[in-house]
Each structure stands twice: as structure tokens, then as C-alpha cells.
Amino acid sequence: MAEETLPSKRAMIFWGLFSAGMGLFIMVGAAGVFGIDLHPAEGVPVWIGACAGAMFVAGGFALIAQSLAGLKASPDGNIPPDAPTWARWTLPALGLTIAGGFATIALWVAFGPGPRHFSVVGTFGSDRVNEMLGRGVFGFGALLACAIFVAFAVRTVKQLLGRDGA
């Protein structure tokens, strides 16, 4: 197997700043600040855009934090025990922000007030989907995202308290 080359510290910081900047742009646009209007559709609250933007900001900050801490991705996905304390707390918090954002948006689509319009696109064209079916699919995804968030939160707390059994 060929040796995997990792991006440089400078590249990770650049892409982290790029992601965080895009997230801020989404948040500003969703709020309609500076005349930028990225409001996606009638009836969609501003906080949905803020939540989506916050996930990009958190992802960008996670790249920057990982780079500044000098961490490399480990095969098991754990943060090395010799990582700086601030990184062992910051990176999981940013991951929880992203996971929570996915769950929050999916929950709003599935169970929030107002009508929803769904469509599917495939090889042979596209078609509208019944609202209840669309909400049901998003509801399933939302519950799955919530389960992932809770599992990640429990695992993170156990690791931070040193009770992960490793």
C-alpha cells in the first residue's frame, strides 16, 4: 500500500480558514446582513441558516486546531493521549457542534411547522414526493442523527473523564 501523504500545516490552516469563512458567509447571508440574502425559501427560519453556517465554522476551526496541535489522524479515530489538553477538549466540542447541527436541521425539516416540498432526482428524471413521505424519511434521518450525536457525546465524556477502558 502506498504511503499516504498528509496536507501541510499551512494547507490545513488555509482550508480551515476557507471553511470557517464560508460558514460565516452562510450565517451572514441567512440573516440578511450587508444586503446579502441567502434565505433559502419562504418559511425557513434564519436560525436554520445560522446552524448550517456554524457547522462549516466548526469544521474549519477543527482543521485549524488539529493543525496547530500538530495532530495526525489516527487509524482508530481517537485523539492521541499526548495531545495538548486544549485540543482534547476543543476537537470533540467542534465535532459535537457539527453532529448536533445535522440533527437539528433534520429535526426541523421532519417535524417543524409549515409545509415542505420534496423531490427526487434519478437517472430517468425527477419527480415530486408526497410531503408525508419526505418528512418520514427526514424523520428517520433525524432520529439516526440524534442517536449518533448522543453516542458521540457519551463516548466523548467517557474519554475526557478517562473512563473509556482504553
Q: Could you read off the pLDDT tens digit of each residue along the chain, which spans 166 residues?
A: 556 677 788 999 999 999 999 999 999 888 888 777 776 677 888 899 899 999 999 999 999 998 888 887 667 777 777 888 888 889 999 999 999 999 999 999 999 998 888 888 877 767 888 899 999 999 999 999 999 999 999 988 888 887 655 5
Which pLDDT score, from 0 to 100, does residue 163 have? 65
* Domain contains 2: no
Q: Burial level of 121, CB count in 10 A (0-12/13-18/19+)?
A: exposed
* Domain contains 135: yes
> What is the domain extent for residue 112?
9-160
Which pLDDT score, from 0 to 100, does residue 1 have? 53
pTM of the model: 0.82
Cα 103 from Cα 139, distance rounded (Å):
10
* Domain contains 140: yes
The answer to whether 55 and 23 have CB atoms below 8 angstroms apart is yes
Cα 6 from Cα 9, distance rounded (Å):
9
* Domain contains 23: yes
* Domain contains 3: no
* Domain contains 61: yes
Cα 66 from Cα 57, distance rounded (Å):
14
* Domain contains 4: no
The grid cell for 76 is: 482508530
Identity at 116, one-letter amino acid code? R
Domain count within the chain: 1
The grid cell for 38 is: 441567502
Cα 109 from Cα 65, distance rounded (Å):
31
* Domain contains 153: yes
Cα 7 from Cα 35, distance rounded (Å):
36
